[in-house]
Amino acid sequence: MKSKQVTIKDIARQLDISPATVSRALKDHPDISKTTKKAVVDLANSLNYQPNSIALSLRSQKTFTIGVIVPEIIHFFFSSAISGIEAIAYKAGYNVIICQSNESYEREVANINTLLSNRVDGILISISKNTRDFSHLKKVVNMGIPLIFFDRVCKDIKAHRVIVEDEKGAYNAVNHLIKQGYKRIAHLAGPETLEISKLRKKGYLKALEENNIANNPDYTIVADNKKDGYHGMKKLLSYAERPDALFTINDNVAVGAMQAIKESGLNIPNDIGIIGFSDDQKITSLVEPHLSSIAQPAFQIGQTAGELFLKQITNPDNQDFEEIVLETELIIRESTDNRKTLS
């Protein structure tokens, strides 16, 4: 679907303003009004405008700074990914500045604007779970600044992406439970807005189907944190036919569920087996029994995102974007192993 390349002049003509104004609007220049900027950016997006290398070379000199935006640094997964980004960035002479969106769309927009006015050479982002409008990210692309998505990505923007095999990881987790002899497998699932929640749910359902286990819709409950995990498990335990195993969207949810199971006097793994999906490798070996989990290569995700940035900055004209899918690992610990009573 090759078409004639849209230029700044085309945008200027359609809006009846000068090419210089369009150019400065795309660079978020302070002299240009917000109304004009919005009109230019909207039109550039709808025409699928891509800056060419001449426009790019007109950008001011490099700052050797990369901006990273994540939902929350307090999560081990994101701070590990940032360490991976830094490992690559430092070696190539870049420094890294980090912003948190705190799962707020408005804060994410403010972060993008802060990083742009700091003239970062690239932006690496894992989007907030409340981001549904992507024009702040399209603006980055329009300005010719490399944009890399990792973990939580936006499929509608032409940019490099790094994700993990969420569906296959979930499939492996549930398959493992089935091999251990568990039959009534529940799923404490993530918020449905996130792509990763959908993929992990899909993997769960696929493993059930392949093993001829009927899906009981009551066995899927949305639970996003430790407290939710506790209450979700309480509900599952109240069923006449309670589950004998559980796959959780993340390890924090698993920890909450384990607490509910212990309080009920049931044994892990004999009465109920439980497996998580690791956002925090540290937790799995602190809880008792140690928690089986699907390990995500958070550091490697960051490294790969950093490498894709370097690739793009050395060839800014590149429009051939990659989606790199990293493997997960099934780590079997006490919570699903050495089961003594088969039900």
CA angle 179, 180, 183 (to 5 degrees): 80
Contact call for residue 287 and a second copy (CB under 8 A): yes
At its nearest, how many Å lie between a second copy and the CB of residue 5?
Answer: 33
Ranges within 62-81 binding a second copy (CB under 8 A):
63, 65, 67, 72-74, 76, 79-80
DSSP 119: T
Strands 329-331 and 292-295, bridge-based pairing: antiparallel
Q: Nearer Cβ to a second copy, position 18 or 95?
A: 95
Distance CA(216)–CA(182), nearest Å, equals: 15
Ranges within 234-273 binding a second copy (CB under 8 A):
255
Contact call for residue 111 and a second copy (CB under 8 A): yes
At its nearest, how many Å lie between a second copy and the CB of residue 72?
Answer: 8
Q: Order of strands, edge to edge, in the sheet holding 245-248?
A: 220-222, 185-189, 245-248, 273-278, 292-295, 329-331
Contact call for residue 36 and a second copy (CB under 8 A): no
Which of the ranges 6-14, 114-122, 144-152, 193-201 carries the binding residues for a second copy, by CB under 8 A?
114-122
Contact call for residue 95 and a second copy (CB under 8 A): yes
State the angle between helix axes of 298-314 and 76-91 in degrees (0 to 180), rounded to the nearest 10: 40
Distance CA(275)–CA(333), nearest Å, equals: 9
Contact call for residue 342 and a second copy (CB under 8 A): no
Task: List the structure tokens of 198.
Answer: 């959908």
Residue 260's nearest CA partner among 291, 285, 229 is 229
Which of the ranges 105-113, 162-170, 210-218, 233-241 carries the binding residues for a second copy, by CB under 8 A?
105-113
Using CB under 8 A, list all residues that contact a second copy. Answer: 63, 65, 67, 72-74, 76, 79-80, 82-83, 86, 90, 95-100, 102, 107, 110-111, 114-115, 117-118, 255, 283, 286-288
